[in-house]
Chains A and B, each alone.
Chain A
Amino acid sequence: MPAPIRLRELIRTIRTARTQAEEREMIQKECAAIRSSFREEDNTYRCRNVAKLLYMHMLGYPAHFGQLECLKLIASQKFTDKRIGYLGAMLLLDERQDVHLLMTNCIKNDLNHSTQYVQGLALCTLGCMGSSEMCRDLAGEVEKLLKTSNSYLRKKAALCAVHVIRKVPELMEMFLPATKNLLSEKNHGVLHTSVVLLTEMCERSPDMLSHFRKVLILVPQLVRILKNLIMSGYSPEHDVSGISDPFLQVRILRLLRILGRSDDDSSEAMNDILAQVATNTETSKNVGNAILYETVLTIMDIKSESGLRVLAINILGRFLLNNDKNIRYVALTSLLKTVQTDHNAVQRHRSTIVDCLKDLDVSIKRRAMELSFALVNGNNIRGMMKELLYFLDSCDPEFKADCASGVFLAAEKYAPSKRWHIDTIMRVLTTAGSYVRDDSVPNLIQLITNSVEMHAYTVQRLYKALLDDISQQPLVQVASWCIGEYGDLLVSGQCEEEEPIQVTEDEVLDVLEGLLVSNLSAPVTRGYSLTAIMKLSTRFSSVNRIKKVVSIYGSSIDVELQQRAVEYNALFKKYDHMRPALLERMPIMEKTATNGPSEIVQTNGETDSTVLDTKHPPTITQPPSQGNDLLDLLGGNDVVPVIQTSLPTKPPSAGGELLDLLGDLSLTGAPPPAPASVPSVPMSQPPFLLDGLSSQPLFNDIGTGIPPMTAYNKNGLKIEFMFERSNPNPNIAVITIHASNSTEADMTDFVFQAAVPKTFQLQLLSPSSNVVPALNQGNVTQVIRVLNPQKQQLRMRIKLTYTYKGSPVQDLAEVNNFPPQSWQ
């Protein structure tokens, strides 16, 4: 049998193969030869054959038939055999196979071998892939070697012990005695591995940790070693770019971190050395920065004094300016970890962080984005948002969803004004509309409903955006919803924020119908637009056109659309009287817990300094308990169109006094339509009453011919009632009060309240203002709706409060002179 070819020869041959098939053929041939050689129990060439097998294994070919051969090599007395045998064991054997247990005895013997290089092989293999059983069997040997004076073996034994502890944590105790004088070694290899061992033990067991802190008093020892490393002169053996043994320095710093964590004494003992390392380490090369990085991590994790913490953050700030992108990366990662606890210090580096948004590296950009969101607060929101929106425009698609969500969250928390908020949302929807998360759509809709005075502006901008582009589904969905809801505002050209556009009902319906037929629209979007069209039937006058559209979709293939259309059709045909009620303006939605990825924007405990909206929306003096909840949720002094439904649970300032005085009259308000977590949250309207959230006249039908009446006229304050009957429901009387002031001074903080007998139900909408200007210069108007199903004579008790020339005024009155037509 000719001698098997040498390893190098084989490698050369295999590399000449031009195709995969050729290579496979060569490999198979050689494997066959190796197999027969193994069968013959050839001792001489076993080593060579296994080496070749290992090469073929690396190329990806199966080599399991060589496993037992490795064991035979390990058992051999030749060093060459052992070397390859152990290598083969590490590559081919793993702890799942029982075969590996056969190694245990060999390893045991070799751990006690007279040649240290053999012992070394054994320690290395055990420390690399020893299973729990093997570790249990051999821990004693390892422990013995941990105490040897031979530093070559001692260092290997230390790392082997680390592996044993990881595999069998209960054995940790066993190594404790040997650790006593590990740190008094001079040999750096032993020192390094000892520190690793001590770190492992401290991390795993709090008992060990306190033992090392208090009994062995490790911290001063470590501080001393570290100091020597820094102060000592040039040591060629351990020098890396002018720094002495950076590997050891880093490991010591890491162990100090664990020892100093939540321990004041230890932290204090290491304060000086940390400051020294932080200030003296050379930063021109990666190796110096590696040490600084570890130092920063340690400073941030222990109980360090604030000066040291600021030093650490500043180091990170300098890292951000480093040319080396790796350094910038670790800086951003570390800052992200500390932004919660040291927020102000990190804020100082905000502009550098924002610059990193423009970095070319994806990982750096992502971290910069996360950090930027964490740093947004009420003070910097405008500037930050500009940068973040710019980033959103130009970033990779993988970032857009997270960035958009982050922008929404930040805007919600810190928007300086409603207009700004809506504009920001629009910007996100138009630039990254297709990447916005699905749950953003309902959140945005809720936000929009809450910004009552911006409805006209919002719907106008959304309409214009739709004219440009209907491909981005979230944008289209929000826009459809708004048009359906506020289409009347759109066509009536009421926008105050910007130049109102002239839009006809037909044009709006054209756009919505366009969405229905467009290929770009997702099924969900189509659903939105069909519903929007339907809602417009109570807001527009072109009902016939809407009826036609709806009936067409009654035979749509899309089941969802079909169902909707059929139901809407039925609404037109059989339940037309219910239609207005069903399609009326939505109430303000209750804000639930934050939706979306809240980890992107982190709370920073800074006070919000939201700028009050410069517009003058009517603010109603709310009884504090109900008002503040909603105001807090909306993060500022946003106006909530409040309906003063006089619920019995209201605190005295609003309803209690009336209750006292009105005896038999009940103060019923409408039950809130949505389950409110705060029972006295004012809801915008009860379900049975009709359209219209604003204090405008609700229906076009004003000429009912009921004459107005004066309800109150005293001390210069005159209140007139104007009547409208709502067409579909004759039981409802709609009264608009006009309050005027003929005196020479304004009446401020004006509040009108009313109560009606039990058989009636009353609803007050928001007043136009709470200042009645002097000298009849203007009116305060407010709408009252009264439901009178039993057609009883209408009676009302009213209460007026206002401030006149600095003093509060209050008055009660009964109104009994209602014209019969108003309640018959």
Chain B
Amino acid sequence: MQFMLLFSRQGKLRLQKWYVPLSDKEKKKITRELVQTVLARKPKMCSFLEWRDLKIVYKRYASLYFCCAIEDQDNELITLEIIHRYVELLDKYFGSVCELDIIFNFEKAYFILDEFLLGGEAQETSKKNVLKAIEQADLLQEVCCSLPSS
């Protein structure tokens, strides 16, 4: 996966995870164009489209679009499952997640994503394990005093 974007139906960006090095300007340009393209799609259309030399896989959950850019040799159908798994994780963590949760707790959304994917690939295929890790890390945050260093 090269990048993942979450955006609302009005085109507002809610999360951006880039797995390839690009300048800020380029990222903005790509985001703008892609958001426009995906929002222009009609509901009956399929979840895949070609854009530049990438394959775009997107799915709408309630008011949020989840959009991934994958490479030619990646499997589009399993990417849909990846997106779905991420939504399930968010749902379990926030309890019936909605867009507002992601807006107000964006940093947590990133933490969860970073426990699920690393470098664009899934690092953990067990839902339970991802959630357990997040839970433990959150607990660690609660412990406010310094950590013993290495």
Q: Give residues in A with beta carbon < 8 Å to B.
A: 7-8, 11-12, 15, 51, 54-55, 58-60, 77-80, 83-84, 87, 91, 94-96, 109-110, 112-115, 117-118, 120, 123-124, 127-129, 131, 152, 155-156, 159-160, 162-163, 188-189, 192-193, 196, 237-238, 240, 245-248, 250, 254, 286-287, 289-290, 293-294, 297, 325-330, 360-364
Give the residues in chain A near B110, CB-CB below 8 Å: 87
- Cα–Cα, bound, A290→B82 (Å): 11
A193 and B125 CA atoms in complex are apart in Å by: 10
B28: interface (CB < 8 Å) = yes
Q: Is the CB of A78 within 8 A of B147?
A: yes
Set of chain B residues within 8 Å of A155, measured between Cβ atoms = 123-124
Instruction: Scan B92-135; emit 1 where CB is below 8 A from any A CB, else 0.
Output: 00000000000110110011001100110111111111000100
Min C-beta distance of A117 to chain B, whole Å: 5
Contact of B119 among A15, A162, A297 (CB under 8 A): A162
The residue from B73, B77, B115, B128 contacting A326, defined by CB atoms under 8 A apart:
B77
User: Do B45 and A160 touch (CB < 8 A)?
Assistant: no
Q: A189-B126, A290-B80, A330-B77 are in contact. List 9 more A-B contacts (CB 8 A).
A: A54-B106, A95-B21, A114-B150, A120-B133, A124-B118, A247-B122, A287-B81, A326-B80, A364-B46
Q: How far is the CA of A250 from the CA of B73 in the complex (A)?
A: 12
Query: Are A159's CB and B137's CB within 8 A?
Result: no
A316 CB to closest chain B CB (Å) equals: 13
Which residue of B has the minimal Cβ distance to A62?
Answer: B24
Chain A's nearest CB lies how many Å from the CB of B148? 6
B124 contacts across to A, CB distance below 8 A: 155, 188-189, 192
Docked Cα-Cα span, A55 to B13, in Å, equals 11
Q: Which residues of A sit under 8 angstroms from B48, Cβ to Cβ?
A: 326, 329-330, 363
Contact check, A196 vs B104: say whether CB atoms are below 8 A apart: no
CB distance from B101 to the nearest CB of A (A): 12
- B36 CB within 8 Å of chain A: no
Neighbour of A246 across the interface among B22, B78, B149, CB < 8 A:
B78
Task: Note all chain A residues with C-beta closer than 8 A to B122.
Answer: 192-193, 247
Residues of A contacting B82 with CB < 8 Å? 247
Determine the chain A residues whose CB is within 8 A of the CB of B77 once the complex forms: 286-287, 289-290, 293, 326-327, 330
* Cβ contact within 8 Å between A286 and B13: no
State the Cβ distance, A385 to closest chain B Cβ, in Å.
Answer: 27
Whether a CB of chain A sits under 8 angstroms from the CB of B8 is no
B75 in the interface (beta carbon within 8 A): yes
Residue B10 CB within 8 A of the other chain: no
Which chain B residues lie closer than 8 Å to A124 at the CB level? 114, 118
A494 to B25, CA, bound (A): 68
Residues of B within 8 A of A240 (CB): 81, 85
When chains A and B are docked, how far (Å) is the Cα of A238 from the Cα of B81? 13
Q: Give every chain B residue within 8 A of A163 (Cβ-Cβ).
A: 119
Q: List 25 A-B contacts (CB under 8 A).
A: A58-B13, A58-B15, A79-B147, A80-B144, A83-B107, A113-B150, A115-B147, A127-B119, A128-B114, A129-B21, A163-B119, A188-B124, A189-B125, A193-B118, A238-B125, A238-B126, A240-B81, A246-B78, A250-B75, A286-B77, A287-B81, A325-B46, A326-B77, A361-B45, A362-B45
Nearest to A325 among chain B residues (CB) is B46
Cβ of B21 and Cβ of A96 under 8 Å apart?
A: yes
Residue B140 lies at the interface, judged by CB distance under 8 Å to chain A:
yes
In the complex, which residues 1-48 of chain B have their Cβ closer than 8 Å to any Cβ of chain A? 13-16, 18-19, 21-24, 28, 44-48
Task: Decide: A156 near B123, CB < 8 A? Known: A326-B47, A326-B48.
Answer: yes
Query: Given the complex, which residues of B lie within 8 Å of A246, measured CB to CB?
Result: 78, 81
A-B pair count, CB < 8 Å, reads 178
Given contacts A118-B147, A290-B81, whether A79 and B123 have CB atoms under 8 Å apart is: no
CB distance from A250 to the nearest CB of B (A): 5
Q: B residues within 8 Å of A by Cβ? A: 13-16, 18-19, 21-24, 28, 44-50, 73, 75-78, 80-82, 85, 103-104, 106-107, 110-111, 114-115, 118-119, 121-129, 133, 136-137, 140-141, 143-144, 146-150
* Inter-subunit contact A87/B133 (CB<8 Å): no
Q: Is the CB of B128 within 8 A of A127?
A: no
Contact of A83 with B111 in the complex, beta carbons under 8 Å: yes
Measured in the bound complex, the distance between the Cα atoms of B26 and A716 in whole Å is: 89
Nearest Cβ on chain B to A7's Cβ, whole angstroms: 8
Q: What residues of B have a CB within 8 angstroms of the CB of A12 in the complex?
A: 104
**Minimum C-beta distance from B77 to chain A (A):** 4
Which residue from chain A places its CB closest to the CB of B137 in the assembled complex? A117
Interface contact A117-B140, CB-CB below 8 Å: yes
Contact of A361 among B46, B118, B127 (CB under 8 A): B46
How far is it, in angstroms, between the C-alpha of A95 and the C-alpha of B18 when the chains are bound?
Answer: 13
CB distance from B128 to the nearest CB of A (A): 5
Q: Known contacts A188-B125, A248-B125, A250-B75; is A123 also within 8 Å of B106 by CB?
A: no
Decide: A159 near B121, CB < 8 A? Known: A8-B104, A362-B45: yes
B129–A189 touching, CB < 8 Å: yes
Q: With A87-B110, A152-B133, A238-B125 in contact, do A326 and B46 touch (Cβ < 8 Å)?
A: yes
> Whole-angstrom distance between the alpha carbons of A83 and B134 in the complex?
12
Give Cα distance in the complex from A360 to B42, angstroms: 10
Complex: chain B residue closest to A235, CB-CB? B126
- Given A79-B147, A361-B45: A286 in contact with B80 (beta carbons within 8 A): yes
- Contact (Cβ within 8 A) B123 A159: yes
For residue A132, give the distance in angstroms from its CB to the closest CB of chain B: 10
The interface centre, meaning the residue of B13, B28, B85, B126 with most chain A CB atoms within 10 A of its CB, is B126
Q: Is the CB of A237 within 8 A of B80?
A: no
Asked whether, in the complex, the Cβ of B45 is within 8 Å of the Cβ of A94, the reply is no
Pick from B21, B49, B126, B148: contact of A237, CB under 8 Å: B126
B116 to chain A minimum Cβ distance, whole angstroms, is: 10
A329 surroundings in chain B (CB, below 8 A): 46, 48, 76
A363: which of B16, B50, B111, B150 is its contact (CB, 8 Å)?
B50
State how many angstroms separate the Cβ of B12 from the closest Cβ of chain A: 8
**A79 vs B138: C-alpha distance when bound (angstroms):** 9
Contacts of B114 in A (CB 8 A): 87, 124, 128
Residues of B within 8 A of A238 (CB): 125-126
Whole-angstrom distance from the CB of B104 to the nearest CB of chain A? 6
Name A152's closest neighbour in chain B (CB-CB).
Answer: B133
Shortest distance from the beta carbon of A222 to any chain B beta carbon, whole Å: 16
Across the interface, A127 reaches (CB within 8 A) one of B49, B118, B149, B150, namely: B118
Interface pair B136/A84, CB less than 8 Å apart: no
Chain A residue, CB-CB nearest to B16:
A58
A192:B125 contact, CB within 8 angstroms? yes
Q: How far is the CB of B55 from chain A (nearest CB, A)?
A: 9
Residues of A within 8 A of B24 (CB): 94
User: Are the C-beta atoms of B118 and A123 separated by less than 8 Å?
Assistant: yes
A78:B46 contact, CB within 8 angstroms: no
Which 10 residue pairs are nearest across A and B when measured between Cβ atoms? A290-B77, A77-B146, A325-B46, A189-B124, A159-B118, A127-B119, A290-B78, A247-B125, A163-B119, A79-B140
- In the assembled complex, the Cα of A668 lies from the Cα of B119 at a distance in Å of 77
Whether the Cβ atoms of B45 and A363 lie closer than 8 Å is yes
Which of B28, B111, B121 touches A196 (beta carbons < 8 Å)?
B121
Q: Using Cβ atoms and an 8 Å threshold, which residues of chain B touch A128?
A: 19, 114, 118-119
Q: Which residue of A lies closest to B114 (CB)?
A: A124
CB within 8 Å for A79 and B141 given contacts A58-B16, A127-B119, A192-B123: yes
In the complex, chain B residues whose CB is within 8 Å of the CB of A109: 149-150
In the complex where A11-B103, A189-B125, A329-B48 touch, is A294 in contact with B147 (Cβ < 8 A)?
Answer: no
